[in-house]
Amino acid sequence: MFKKTAKLTRILAHPAARQAVLRDMRGLAKKDPGIETVLKAGFAWLARAQDCSSSADGGSARHYDLFSGWSSSYPETTGYILNTWVDRAKETGDSSLRERIRKAVRWLYSVQLPDGGFPGGTIAENRTIPTVFNTGQIVLGLSDALPYLAMDLKPLNHAADWLLTMQDPDGGWHRSPQPFAPDGAHTYDAHVAWSLMAAAKTTGNSAYLDAAIRNINWVLQHQFPNGWFEHCSLWEPDEALTHTIGYTLRGVVEAWAVTGNNQFRTAALTTAHAILKEQSIDGSIPGCFNPQWQPTVRWSCLTGISQISLCWMRLYELTAEQHFLSAAQKANAFVRKTIPLGANLNIHGAVAGSFPIYGRYCRFQYPNWATKFTLDAQMYEKHLRDQST
């Protein structure tokens, strides 16, 4: 009882935290701000995350915390934010984004380890231990950013080669140090497989694609008949977060798109349809599921919703099944209605870890990847809308 009281007292004593809690307790905003408003505010916030990182190095701050402020830079997510910036720069011609991309790439080069890997966690937490998942997300970003900047591909090849040396014969990444995640291989490493598909396309090295497909085959060995994936948790083994499900599903979807493999198609559609059944009328999706696809929490993981939305839109493109697009549009609208658009520039346009903000995932934080994936999903919806007109 004392712990709950002390926590509540801390929240009530902090104006920004108190305001955020009260806002979310009132529910979603009544008015949808719309895609363009969210894109403008979200990209402004991503720029602020780079400019305000406590390590002031050109990387993007991992998060803004309502109690402690801006964190140090996070190599992993700085990596795949590059994709988001490149897409926006190509769409709008915004020349300022080119310099942001270049600054982030130079910083990533400065923290790449001699073996080619990149450190896990924020740069304040770890500078020496490379991890597979984090390196994969940087490979994904460099695969887009380096051609855009017309830069040398050697650091990309060095990182992708390291991923190959760390992969086990069965396709899983079992040996990678995991200083901030459960030990062993994970099915959400399918997102690393996607990064190798992207690297193969950029570099022309077919060994990267071969390694990616080996991993997806390993992942599918751990998919249940109902579409749920084991080894897909950051917490309890029988509780998968929509964020990590989103990573896994995207890797499988992209493997199907690249190969046309019917096994990958069936696996992607099974999981996608299972999640579709759990979407609420307001567009939300529960933050965690057990192996029977029963929700285990009452809050939503906003990052995961945007990731699932992206998967649904990719599947709509691949199958022309309208219900995938409709579900994605509902999901995107839900996330838009949670975004603060007030006077506080530290959170204006940012996406929280959880809704309500006191949910377990990144509690009271605005992680940079939540905004990144939301911007990706909003841009994708806009792209599909523009294509249809």
pLDDT in tens, 219-254: 999 999 999 999 999 999 999 999 999 999 999 999
pLDDT digits over 200-222, tens only?
A: 999 999 999 999 999 999 999 99
pLDDT digits over 165-174, tens only?
A: 999 999 999 9
Tell me the C-alpha distance between 163 and 116, whole Å: 8
The pLDDT of residue 2 is 36
pLDDT at 49 over 80: yes
* Percent over 70 (pLDDT), the chain: 97
The pLDDT of residue 321 is 97
pLDDT at 6 over 70: no
pLDDT at 323 over 60: yes
Q: Which residues pair with 64 in a beta bridge?
A: 70, 366
Rounded average pLDDT over 63-72: 97
Name the pTM for this structure. Answer: 0.96
Pick one of 1.10.3720.10, 1.50.10.10, 3.30.750.24, 3.40.228.10 as the CATH number of 35-388.
1.50.10.10
CB proximity list for 80: less than 8 A, separation 6 or greater: 137, 138, 140, 141, 369, 372
Across all residues in the chain, what is the average pLDDT? 95
pLDDT digits over 250-297, tens only?
A: 999 999 999 999 999 999 999 999 999 999 999 999 999 999 999 999
pLDDT at 51 over 60: yes
The pLDDT of residue 118 is 97
pLDDT digits over 133-187, tens only?
A: 999 999 999 999 999 999 999 999 999 999 999 999 999 999 877 777 778 899 9
Residue 175: name the closest of 163, 159, 187, 160 by CA. Answer: 163
Tell me the C-alpha distance between 286 and 361, whole Å: 12
Rounded average pLDDT over 34-61: 98
CB proximity list for 32: less than 8 A, separation 6 or greater: 333, 336, 337
CA 344 vs CA 39, 66, 136, 350: distances in Å: 17, 11, 34, 10
The pLDDT of residue 388 is 82
pLDDT at 3 over 70: no
pLDDT digits over 86-106, tens only?
A: 999 999 999 999 999 999 999
